Amino acid sequence: MLRAESLRACLVMSLACGLAACGDDNNDNNNNSVDSGAGDGDGDGDGDGDGDGDAGGGAGDGDAGGGGAIPTFNGCAPADYTDHTAASDARVITIAPGGNLVYSPKCITIKAGQSVKWEGDLTVHPLDRGTPGNDDLGSPNSPIEDTDSGDSVSFTFDTAGTYPYYCKVHGTVGMVGSIHVEE
Ligand SMILES: [Cu+2]
């Protein structure tokens, strides 16, 4: 009997000890958790700040990407192009309207396979591909041929791309433009 009682007492003791130890462990864990939580809070704060900065950069890159789709030539930025893709559109660019040293419309969008006609005095305003000082700018294989006589000329754009053009006499004073060709 005595042995059994002391054994029981021992069991109760060790149970109590075990519980107490567990309790200590829990407290330690809780403390650690609280500390970790504070650490996470700081981390999130920094992360949010960086995230906003990156988002701004991303928006900037997006704009740059849009510019890449339609490169700017001869003052024709993506927003400057007017839509002339409709089948009913005449797609005629007037050379020096009213004697002004410009093309009108200056920057137009068409579809691959469509033609553009330049109308006006090509002797006074000889037309060429590219930009003043660089005939090679723009998409390769521009159908625009060097033209310095006649009252009109037409070119067909079979390949998607951006094809700048200019007047060889007045290009440097703003007589320039560009054709953007969609697929
Ligand atoms: Cu000219």
Q: How far is the CA of 136 from the centre of ligand 1 (A)?
A: 19
**CA distance linking residue 23 with residue 51, whole number of Å:** 41
- pLDDT at site 64: 35
Q: How far is the CA of 102 from the centre of ligand 1 (A)?
A: 7
Token couple for 59:
């928006």
- pLDDT at site 91: 98
Residues 6+ apart with CB under 8 A from 131: 73, 74, 137, 138, 164, 166, 171, 176
Q: How far is the CA of 101 from the centre of ligand 1 (A)?
A: 6
- pLDDT at site 69: 75
Q: How far is the CA of 125 from the centre of ligand 1 (A)?
A: 4
Report cis status (omega within 30 of 0) of the bond before 105: yes
Residue 174 per-residue DSSP state: T
- pLDDT at site 59: 32
Please give the model's pTM, rounded to 2 decimal places. Answer: 0.64
Q: pLDDT by residue (tens digit) across 81-124?
A: 999 999 999 999 999 999 999 999 999 999 999 999 999 999 99
**CA distance linking residue 54 with residue 37, whole number of Å:** 25
Q: pLDDT by residue (tens digit) across 43-80?
A: 333 333 333 333 333 333 333 334 457 899 999 999 99
- pLDDT at site 92: 98
Q: pLDDT by residue (tens digit) across 15-52?
A: 343 434 433 443 343 333 334 333 343 333 333 333 33
Q: How far is the CA of 169 from the centre of ligand 1 (A)?
A: 5
**Strands (DSSP E) found in 62-105:** 82-83, 92-95, 103-104
Count how many residues are written for the chain. Answer: 183
CA angle 146, 148, 153 (to 5 degrees): 75
Q: How many CB atoms lie within 10 A of CB 121?
A: 13
In sign, the C-alpha dihedral spanning 39, 41, 42, 46 is positive
Q: pLDDT by residue (tens digit) across 124-177?
A: 999 999 999 999 999 999 999 999 999 999 999 999 999 999 999 999 999 999
- pLDDT at site 17: 37
Q: How far is the CA of 166 from the centre of ligand 1 (A)?
A: 8
Residues 6+ apart with CB under 8 A from 111: 85, 181, 182, 183
Token couple for 84:
């002339």
